[in-house]
């Protein structure tokens, strides 16, 4: 079923059909109504490829993300997709979870010719940036660090500072961090930023950073558990842990429990993210407005599309907020690293992950 059919049924030309259906000016109300009605009755739909070929517009926005199945990216993508759908844009999704996928993607640049704009969630290196720029479409990115692209994100230093000051004000001075210390195959900027900020925050509190208190948690739940295991094996344990993501923090809580320890009794733990599960396990954390980040980036992109003459924005940072729950507490005199619960629980090892405000 083509535009000609609607044109014949209405007694007008295909050009008028096109104008009428797209709401363009230059069509009398009467004709427009007839055309719209006829199209509806016939069940006519514009052919996307023909329309794109003729107009150069695709009404599609590409999202380039490292992961779909990670909490943070899922939240951002979902919020962005909602905005795009509201603006009548479809979403083409590209996930680059490993280096192979990433290399293939940048060799072929599949969005070429297929999208009107790009929402970028990976941190591109210079070559990748050049590749993306060569597509000649507006780009907005969502992530932590400084970047040549227009971006939205949070103030990473500020978020780390909030978490650290919380611990320091509680009297903690022997503070460990769980983050990424090794190589980062995905080249995220966040791990480096947060680690650097962690050290800076210690120094400004007059505490000299201790390298043995910086351990790798791979930004995953099991990684966080392994990291906490390592910290617990230290001759002199930390009294507080700043986990650079809630997932690592939750892994750390699990590790604690398997050692018969608990937060905040044996060690205070604070995370970053505002993960759904953080509320369930009572984790204190610095929440970032993930959905707002995705929505704002998406809206910016849509505006850029509506008004191409608009000034390209720089970076926008959204506020984070400290949520104190039950895994952080004042340093109580002497830490009791070897303490074990005497609660007669039936399970093999008692965990004390404390919760509140979850409902």
Partner DNA sequence: CTGTTAGCGCGTTCAC
Partner DNA sequence: GTGAACGCGCTAACAG
Q: Which is nearer to DNA, 31 or 207 (CB)?
A: 31
CB half-sphere exposure, 230, CA atoms < 13 A: 18
- Exactly one of 142, 263, 295, 296 binds a copy of itself (CB under 8 A); that residue is 263
Q: Which is nearer to DNA, 2 or 37 (CB)?
A: 2
CA angle 229, 155, 167 (to 5 degrees): 40
Residue 77 binds a copy of itself (CB under 8 A):
yes
- Exactly one of 92, 205, 207, 323 binds a copy of itself (CB under 8 A); that residue is 92
Q: Which is nearer to DNA, 4 or 349 (CB)?
A: 4
The least CB distance from residue 113 to DNA, in Å, is: 8
Residue 128 binds a copy of itself (CB under 8 A):
no
Restricting to residues 167-206, which ones interact with a copy of itself according to CB under 8 A?
none
Q: Where are the beta strands (DSSP E) in 14-170?
A: 60-65, 90-95, 117-120, 139-142, 151-154
Number of residues that bind a copy of itself (CB under 8 A): 80
Closest CA to 291 of 62, 90, 72: 72
- The number of angstroms, rounded, from the C-alpha of 186 to the middle of its chain's C-alpha atoms is 14
d(CA 300, CA 57): 18
Q: Which is nearer to DNA, 35 or 261 (CB)?
A: 35
- Exactly one of 178, 272, 293, 353 binds a copy of itself (CB under 8 A); that residue is 353
Residue 340 binds DNA (CB under 7 A):
no
- Exactly one of 23, 28, 118, 325 binds DNA (CB under 7 A); that residue is 28
Structure tokens at 173: 């001075």
d(CA 342, CA 359): 29
Residue 280 binds a copy of itself (CB under 8 A):
yes
The least CB distance from residue 251 to a copy of itself, in Å, is: 6
Q: Which is nearer to DNA, 15 or 345 (CB)?
A: 15
> If you search the block for the tokens 């230093």, which residue do you land on?
157
Residue 58 binds DNA (CB under 7 A):
no
d(CA 178, CA 222): 12
> If you search the block for the tokens 């040549």, which residue do you land on?
148
Restricting to residues 11-50, which ones interact with a copy of itself according to CB under 8 A?
45, 47-50
Closest CA to 273 of 202, 239, 321: 321
Q: Which is nearer to a copy of itself, 54 or 312 (CB)?
A: 54
- Exactly one of 23, 25, 43, 344 binds DNA (CB under 7 A); that residue is 25
Residue 316 binds DNA (CB under 7 A):
no
- List strands edge to edge, sheet with 268-273: 214-216, 175-179, 240-243, 268-273, 284-287, 321-323
């Amino acid at each position: 079923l083509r535009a000609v059919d609607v044109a014949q049924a209405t007694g007008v030309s295909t050009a008028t059909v096109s104008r009428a259906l797209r709401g363009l000016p230059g069509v009398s109300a009467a004709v427009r109504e007839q055309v719209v009605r006829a199209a509806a009755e016939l069940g006519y739909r514009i052919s996307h490829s023909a329309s794109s070929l003729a107009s150069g517009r695709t009404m599609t926005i590409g999202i380039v993300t490292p992961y779909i199945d990670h909490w943070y990216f899922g939240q951002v993508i979902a919020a962005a997709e909602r905005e795009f759908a509201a603006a009548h844009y479809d979403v083409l999704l590209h996930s680059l979870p490993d280096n192979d996928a990433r290399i293939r993607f940048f060799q072929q640049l599949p969005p070429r010719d297929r999208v009107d704009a790009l929402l970028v969630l990976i941190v591109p290196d210079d070559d990748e940036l050049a590749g993306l720029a060569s597509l000649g479409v507006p780009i907005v990115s969502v992530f932590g660090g400084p970047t040549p692209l227009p971006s939205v994100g949070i103030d990473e230093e500020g978020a780390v500072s909030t978490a650290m000051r919380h611990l320091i004000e509680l009297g903690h001075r022997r503070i460990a961090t769980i983050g990424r210390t090794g190589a980062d195959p995905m080249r995220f900027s966040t791990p480096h930023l947060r680690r650097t900020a962690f050290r800076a925050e210690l120094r400004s509190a007059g505490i000299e950073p201790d390298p043995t208190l910086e351990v790798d948690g791979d930004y995953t739940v099991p990684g966080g558990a392994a990291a906490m295991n390592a910290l617990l094996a230290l001759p002199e344990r930390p009294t507080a842990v700043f986990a650079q993501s809630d997932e690592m923090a939750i892994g750390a809580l699990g590790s604690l429990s398997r050692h018969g320890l608990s937060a905040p009794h044996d060690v205070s733990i604070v995370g970053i993210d505002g993960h759904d599960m953080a509320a369930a396990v009572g984790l204190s954390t610095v929440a970032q407005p993930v959905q707002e980040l995705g929505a704002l980036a998406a809206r910016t992109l849509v505006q850029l599309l509506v008004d191409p003459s608009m000034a390209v924005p720089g970076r926008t940072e959204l506020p984070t907020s400290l949520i104190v729950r039950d895994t952080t507490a004042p340093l109580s005199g002497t830490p009791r690293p070897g303490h074990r619960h005497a609660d007669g629980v039936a399970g093999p090892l008692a965990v004390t992950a404390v919760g509140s405000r979850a409902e």
